Amino acid sequence: MGRTVIEKILQAHSRDDVAAGRIVWIDLDIRSARDFGGPNVVKNYEREYGAAAPADVRRTFFTFDLCAPACTLKYADNQQACRDFARKHSIEVFDVDRGIGTHVLMEDGLAKPGSTVVGTDSHMNILGAVGCFGQGMGDVDIAFAFKTGRTWFEVPETVKVVLKGRPAAGTDAKDLTLFLCRELGTKKIALAAAEFFGEAVQSLDFPGRITLCSMITEMAGIIGFIPDGATAADPDALYADIVELDVSGLGPQVAAPPSPNTVSDLGEVSGVRIDSGFLGSCTNGRTEDLARAAAVLRGRKVRKGVMLKVVPATRRVYEEILRSGVLAELFESGAIVLNPGCGGCAEGHAGLTGKGEVEISTGNRNFPGKQGKGPVYLASPEVVAASCVRGEIGGPEGL
């Protein structure tokens, strides 16, 4: 019997016979912890293993991205506890200057096609964008992975998702992703891996693939892949289900509160007054995402009374927008550009929404209380930028 993408990757890292439904032990190429979760990883590790060395410090990392640099004492203490542990064991720390851990692992070539990577981030499966098996785990799991370099895993079934047709011009990867949140909900790929087929996904660039793979968690999936030469299933691989969706002429999509799955066409929520906008997150924080927003903002101003908060995903993205002029365009429009990290999702440096404050965001979660107390709408960078000019939800057309 042929194997799906996830079965192939896991088989290459296991001495057990890998098949959907089986529990297998796998070798982990990279194991990491963030500034949240990390301190408890250290606590668990030292309680269980004392001063013993991790399995392989060259494959072990800390990534600080939640509160960078720390703006609360709690985070400052937590980050320092991780640094102290890292120094003791000569573990590399991607510190508060670097940005979102998953993105840094991809930029630095540590998350490679066909590799296995774990960390204390529930969006670790974003690494599916580069054909890597990434998985978020709790602090017991990660402490164990630091020490042994291994973990057990229940091999998920795989659902094949085939997209037919081409979205309308002006529709981007986020619109396609929100459409999938709408159609797949939290049941159709629940606890399964997904493989996406069709021109609409095959034509996505690297940032577009990141956007799609970053929201598999919101669809209750294990991970999503866009198969290509290096990471493709066998022709006779067994799929648990095949879902076909028509995306012909798809226009901009918006997720309204209270969940990323309550998605409608932009037209249905156009005109909702907003107080703030957010551009960034692991879903839409790449240079290309920010450049598309800047193109909408060029020669225009963020409406008086609206805050537009911008957080590049990583320091490399920050450098790219700095040198290409995108940063200047964002600045001139009135946007507030902050340092790289998870701001906007985590309660960190990009500000929270107050009660009644309506925000439109390029993030991936709008659950009640996730980004503060206000209601949050999720949309593409173009729609967030246009909405901030208008002072109400709307697209770039007719600005």
- The tokens for 182 are 């709408």
> Does 25 engage in binding with another protein (CB under 8 A)?
yes
> Does 191 engage in binding with another protein (CB under 8 A)?
yes
The residue from 11, 19, 43, 95 that contacts another protein (CB under 8 A) is 43
Distance of CA 219 to the CA centre of its chain: 13
Minimum CB distance to another protein, residue 345 (Å): 11
The residue from 347, 357, 359, 382 that contacts another protein (CB under 8 A) is 347
| Residue closest to 117 by CA, chosen among 55, 35, 28, 37 | 28
146 versus 179: smaller Cβ distance to another protein: 146
185 versus 251: smaller Cβ distance to another protein: 185
> Does 16 engage in binding with another protein (CB under 8 A)?
yes
The residue from 57, 220, 272, 336 that contacts another protein (CB under 8 A) is 220
| 160 Cβ contact list (under 8 Å, min separation 6) | 194, 195, 197, 239, 241, 242, 243
Question: Under the phi-then-psi rule, with left for phi > 0, alpha for psi from -120 to 50, and beta for the rest, what region is 123?
Answer: alpha
- The tokens for 346 are 């985590």
> Does 23 engage in binding with another protein (CB under 8 A)?
yes
The residue from 138, 165, 305, 325 that contacts another protein (CB under 8 A) is 138
Query: Taking a C-beta distance cutoff of 8 angstroms, is the pair 61, 22 a contact?
Result: no
> Does 102 engage in binding with another protein (CB under 8 A)?
no
25 versus 331: smaller Cβ distance to another protein: 25
138 versus 354: smaller Cβ distance to another protein: 138
| Residue closest to 160 by CA, chosen among 224, 249, 210, 114 | 224
Helix/strand/coil for 73: helix
> Does 48 engage in binding with another protein (CB under 8 A)?
yes
The CA angle 26-127-209, to the nearest 5 degrees, is 145
Tokens 């005109």 appear where?
Answer: 271
Residues near another protein (CB under 8 A): 15-16, 23, 25, 36-37, 40, 43-44, 48, 74, 120-122, 135-141, 143-144, 148, 150, 152, 154, 156, 186, 190-191, 220, 222, 347, 367, 369-370
